[in-house]
Structure 1
Amino acid sequence: MSGGLYRSNHAADGYPRPEQGVTVVSVDEQSATASGDQALPPENIPPENGDSGGSTAGQSVIMAIGSMVSRVIGFVRTALIGMAVGKVVGDAYTSAQFLPNQIYELLLGGILSSVLVPLLVRRRKSDPDGGQAFTQKLLTFAIVSLGIATLLVVSLASVITAIQSGSDSTAAYRELVTNFAYLILPIIFFTGLSGLAGAVLNVRGHFAAPMWAPILNNIVVIATCGVFILAYGSSGELTPENITGAQIALIGGGTLLGMVVQALGLLPALRKVGFQWKWNWSPRSLGLREVGQLAGWMLVYAGANQLAVFLVVRILSDVTGSPNSASILAFNYAFLLTMMAHGIIGVSVMTALLPKMSAAAAEGRFDEVSADLSRGIKLTTAALAPIVVVYAVLSAPIAVFLFQGGRFSNANALATGTVLTVAAFAVIPLSISYLCTYAFYALQGNKTVALINLSVVTVRIGAYFLLAEVLKQSLLAAGTTAANAFSYLVSALISLAVLRRRIGRLNLGSVAGSLVRVLIAAGLAAGLGLLVLRFLPGSGAPDGRVQALIQLIPTGAVILITYLAAAYLLRVREITQVVGMVRRKIGR
């Protein structure tokens, strides 16, 4: 149900995507306690079927660490893009980057998580060869399909970019987006290859490689930006009219190369888990009719989401020429920070729970599905709350510290901070919405997901048009971000209501009690954080990285300490259990 600007978990961090997060892992089948108050399953339960793995907690920690490292490096990459090419060219580059993600999500993104992963899990358990031959056939068919689709899309690049570009954008800007698109659109194929490889690894109990592979991607793009700055400098304005073909080729080609390296980097891990790649063209034996019936609803789901993405890019393209106004690049910066929080916490929990919920749902153990969903909501909310407070209180210094420099000015960074303030309130609704979506995937409720999402995207698009009419251009990026946040909340509420009818009691009383305690702790942390920030140089509007750092360190420390102390006093069990788990991991 979560829509908006997402990208699959296999896409490079720092790269605009819907992060629906489609990687999954094998986890133990231990159910929650009857009350649903257990935040994490025990860590001493052995994995099923001999897969290397462990508990939900242990695997979530592995994935969270990998995701965090990857995303931190991804922010270096993202910041360097803005510093290297500046706001206007950065807008064109970002607009072109949305294209392969939109198309990938239509072709494979949602289908991978909702259809293919559960199918691979079932075949791994039921087939005598552990699903080896079936997986080979599936990968062969998918690679051929992705290759054909990629060639077709690249041939239509100029048509697609002409439709997506805003009506007020100049011919030179549209041409620049198209030139970037020719170089970046082939990413569709390698994103798909990376996603498929990651799914095969996760189903076989290997978690690290899919979470760490994006680091290779980011390193390649960082090196590309470094070469660009060394060759062309980081001062002087770059525009669609004065950027050269060599400069476009360097940035666009380096972006494509990064995804190629990421995809190839997963191949050794496939060999490590014993998967033997073999070309096996046999589409009729895949049961494509069954897959197609399930995938059809996911195409409706993905299509609605990508229509919303298309409209955001088109609306914000009209802001590109406005000086110091947040537009596509600033919107993407704030979105990536939102996804960083969601990816480190929410995706790590969700991907650890999906195979477990799928197995329980297949056997009719809906009480376990309900318990896992409730635990996931409480754990995710408790862990994300301090990040939300930091984003809301420290949005300006975060944006200045991460993104100001080179051709990206202080005014551009402060405008990005305004968008981040709004984006902070999207983090928790986004993650809860995704948790519900994954519960539906486990129940094979793809039709339900699609139908709910149609109403949610209708709300989102309506909010886009309304805000585009009433807000001035400088606030459009913040307005579209607010529309996304509101739609995530609508999605979560509708989904919980439908799930309650589908699987019974969701322990919502326990969840609500936990959320209230988390909200109180977060409110105390925010209040003290704002008080501290008021007395620091710049008062929340730093004029450079040094002043931003002076604001970030003490205020961030006060927010974190206050939240943890309040959560402990309020007996937020999820926080105490996560802290204990991390301490045990470090001790080992």
Structure 2
Amino acid sequence: MNPPERLPIDDRTARLPFDDRTAALPIDEATVALPLIDPSKPEPETRGTAASNSAMMAIGSLVSRGTGFLRTAVMAMALGGFLVGNAYTTAQVFPGMIYELLIGGIMSSVLVPMIVRARKQDADRGEAYTQRLLTLSLIVLGITTVLAILCAPLLALAYASKATVASKDLITALSYLMLPTIFFYGLSGLCGAILNARHSFAAPVWTPILNNLVVIGTGVFYMVTFGTELILPGQMTRTQVLVLGGGFLLGIVTQALALLPALRRTGFRFKVRTDFRKLGLRHLGRVGGWMFCYVIVNQLALMLLFNLLNRSPEGKAGALIYNNVFLLLMMAHGIFAVSIITALLPRMSAAAVDGRAEEISHYLSRGIRMVTVLLAPIAVIYSVLALPISVALFQGFAFTAQASEASRWVLLVAGLTLVPMSVSQLFNFTYYSLQDTKTPALINLPVVSLRLSFQLAWFAATTVAVTAVGMMIGNGLSFIVAGLLSAMLLRRRIGRIGLRGISVAMAKAFVAAIIAAVAGLLTVYLLDANQTASKADAWVAMIVGSIVICGVYGLVALALRTQEVNDVLGLVRRKLGR
């Protein structure tokens, strides 16, 4: 699962535990008024500017996200959109969920800032500190992996209590093969954190491609060997389970091991160090403890979500369809929002160490405006072209037209949650750069309570057939509330965050998005794309509609003098000129 996309609630992450969790946006250093790095404290390992790093990451991320999505489409066509696909999707949530509880949740929020701090303050530039941290983390991961494998039946019961016995048995069988990936998720995440702290961004972006290719190969092999007939969980053989679970495991192992050469090139050498007291465990526990509270609340919400989704009857949107839709959100979120986080978090952390609050505020304001303006047309595309997208990207073989129709309404609602999700994540990582995990954890309590209350109320008041739609609406409401609460509280820490400029950029993006949506709806009507059509017709409608929406949005945004659009166009012109 490609998430983190980092993968929902989540990507991945508010993310599912997807593997391709990093992506990038070409950020123009000329548009950042304040210095990215304190010139009095240079980082010898820094390679290139924010623009060059981000441009390189953008290319890798596009390939990674593209192959990740192809992987999802292949597995959907191999397994179908209903019971077997739901079981596979649920089983692959387990290792990522446990990884998030242990390390994933504190990776960017705690470990990267602490490694950056050690590199700035320690005489050996944090080498020994990082070795101790890696040793302790690998020990914890190893023990947890063994315990998780032993608890596989309990996990299946928690996430699919009302599913059929055959479905729970299939989830358990797949889990035995997938849960060992916890260790390799952790190894991959730790190596990525060390590389990012050393301003080496390429490998964490590119290695998930290897994982995606392995799983794509697994899906193709499965279809060629076992066929594409839609079957029930009780009809799955041990060989089929071994192919699916083993392919998932092999993909993560390949991704993790591929990071080791890159880590070595940065000059880092691993050495087992057991003097863990020198890590400052009290501080690490205090900061990481709040992050653990944040993550465990989200994971409990995730467990409830999957429990409800696994109650969906055959032919209705369940775990796999919901997961596919969230992957689309995470793909757009990763290409734009996560890119800014990945490129700027080390610099925001460095600014926080030196007490440069104004610089942190500048980064945050700039990030929110860029994310909003650049994600708005994608949100319109997802909502207006929901059916053509579902048919074009997923339909085929075991994924039927009925499954595409079920996906349509989930994607339509999901498009509206894209911008709030990305903005709320930007706020979270701003807190993390300040070594503050307590505030996001406390904010998360009322936010998740609101989300769960809405989702349970929706489930009680409506039919099971529309459960996935209600789950997505609940996500969107929680992202909006989280963003508003974070903005109010963060202003007390770093001062003004440029609310006037943010409001103006959002208003311009909203106007351009509404006009683009009208143009998109007219295109859909002229192409008669609101009916389930052939895959070829759906591709035509998706491509033509996307071009119209983006074109109209861009023209309106330029007419409104939206600075962020001009910045991106100027960067593209300069790159082409070179």
Same fold (TM over 0.5): yes
Cα-to-partner distance string for 1:100-152 (whole Å, 9 max, x where unaligned): 11111110112111111111001111222221121111111111110001111
Query: How far did 1:22 drift?
Result: 7.5
Query: How far did 1:492 drift?
Result: 0.3
Is 2:509 the partner of 1:543? no
State the alpha-carbon separation in 1 of the partners of residues 576 and 95 from structure 2: 39
Q: 1:23-38 to 2 correspondence within 5 Å?
A: 38=31
Partner of 2:431: 440
Runs of 4+ in 1 over 4 A off after TM superposition: 9-16, 18-25, 27-30, 38-47
Secondary structure in 1 matching 2:564: helix
| More displaced stretch, 498-507 vs 508-517 | 498-507
Is 2:477 the partner of 1:486? yes
Q: Is the 8 A contact 1:161 1:174 kept in 2?
A: yes
Query: How far did 1:543 drift?
Result: 2.1
Cα-to-partner distance string for 1:366-402 (whole Å, 9 max, x where unaligned): 1111111100000111111111111011111111111
State the alpha-carbon separation in 2 of the partners of residues 411 and 251 from structure 1: 24
Q: Is the 8 A contact 1:61 1:348 kept in 2?
A: no
State the alpha-carbon separation in 1 of the partners of residues 58 and 501 from structure 2: 25
State the alpha-carbon separation in 1 of the partners of residues 448 and 546 from structure 2: 35
Q: Is the 8 A contact 1:102 1:306 kept in 2?
A: yes
Query: How far did 1:280 drift?
Result: 2.3
Q: Given the alignment, which residue of 558, 561, 564 partners 1:568?
A: 558
Secondary structure in 2 matching 1:265: helix
| More displaced stretch, 245-254 vs 71-80 | 71-80
Q: 1:381-460 to 2 correspondence within 5 Å?
A: 381-460=372-451
Secondary structure in 1 matching 2:315: coil
Q: Is the 8 A contact 1:23 1:210 kept in 2?
A: yes
Partner of 1:171: 165
Query: How far did 1:42 drift?
Result: 8.2
Partner of 1:475: 466
Q: Is the 8 A contact 2:22 2:61 kept in 1?
A: no
Q: Is the 8 A contact 1:14 1:75 kept in 2?
A: no
State the alpha-carbon separation in 2 of the partners of residues 348 and 24 from structure 1: 5
Q: 1:164-313 to 2 correspondence within 5 Å?
A: 164-167=159-162, 169-234=163-228, 236-313=229-306
State the alpha-carbon separation in 1 of the partners of residues 414 and 545 from structure 2: 19
State the alpha-carbon separation in 1 of the partners of residues 7 and 516 from structure 2: 33
State the alpha-carbon separation in 2 of the partners of residues 18 and 178 from structure 1: 18
AA matched with 1:17: L
Equivalent pairs counted in the alignment come to 572
Secondary structure in 1 matching 2:123: coil
C-alpha spacing 1:156/1:176, structure 2 compared with 1 (3 Å): same
Is 2:428 the partner of 1:466? no
State the alpha-carbon separation in 2 of the partners of residues 44 and 501 from structure 1: 24
Query: How far did 1:294 drift?
Result: 0.6
C-alpha spacing 1:551/1:339, structure 2 compared with 1 (3 Å): same
AA matched with 1:49: E
Query: How far did 1:64 drift?
Result: 2.5
Partner of 1:35: none
C-alpha spacing 1:587/1:280, structure 2 compared with 1 (3 Å): farther
**Gapped regions of structure 1 (runs ≥ 5):** 33-37
State the alpha-carbon separation in 2 of the partners of residues 74 and 174 from structure 1: 27
Secondary structure in 2 matching 1:241: helix
State the alpha-carbon separation in 2 of the partners of residues 48 and 534 from structure 1: 57
Partner of 2:315: 324
Secondary structure in 1 matching 2:43: helix
Q: Given the alignment, which residue of 543, 546, 556 partners 2:546?
A: 556
C-alpha spacing 1:28/1:80, structure 2 compared with 1 (3 Å): closer
State the alpha-carbon separation in 1 of the partners of residues 37 and 576 from structure 2: 16
State the alpha-carbon separation in 2 of the partners of residues 42 and 282 from structure 1: 37
AA matched with 1:70: S
Q: 1:43-122 to 2 correspondence within 5 Å?
A: 48-86=42-80, 87-122=82-117
Cα-to-partner distance string for 1:234-290 (whole Å, 9 max, x where unaligned): 1x2221111101001101110010000000010110111111122222222211111
C-alpha spacing 1:120/1:312, structure 2 compared with 1 (3 Å): same
Q: Is the 8 A contact 2:420 2:479 kept in 1?
A: yes
TM-score by length of 1: 0.93
Q: Given the alignment, which residue of 380, 388, 392 partners 2:371?
A: 380
AA matched with 1:479: G
AA matched with 2:86: D
Is 2:372 the partner of 1:369? no
Partner of 1:17: 16
C-alpha spacing 1:63/1:445, structure 2 compared with 1 (3 Å): same
State the alpha-carbon separation in 2 of the partners of residues 401 and 10 from structure 1: 25
Is 2:515 the partner of 1:524? yes
CA RMSD of the aligned region, Å?
Answer: 2.5
TM-score by length of 2: 0.94
Secondary structure in 2 matching 1:266: helix
Q: Is the 8 A contact 1:22 1:110 kept in 2?
A: no
Query: How far did 1:41 drift?
Result: 6.8
State the alpha-carbon separation in 1 of the partners of residues 497 and 314 from structure 2: 49
Q: Is the 8 A contact 1:24 1:203 kept in 2?
A: no
State the alpha-carbon separation in 1 of the partners of residues 384 and 257 from structure 2: 40
| More displaced stretch, 51-60 vs 455-464 | 51-60
State the alpha-carbon separation in 2 of the partners of residues 81 and 21 from structure 1: 16
Query: How far did 1:28 drift?
Result: 12
**Gapped regions of structure 2 (runs ≥ 5):** none
C-alpha spacing 1:409/1:425, structure 2 compared with 1 (3 Å): same
Secondary structure in 2 matching 1:49: coil
Partner of 1:585: 575
Q: 1:144-155 to 2 correspondence within 5 Å?
A: 144-155=139-150
Cα-to-partner distance string for 1:146-205 (whole Å, 9 max, x where unaligned): 0001111111111121122132x1111111111111111111110110000011111111
Q: 1:111-150 to 2 correspondence within 5 Å?
A: 111-150=106-145
Partner of 2:348: 357
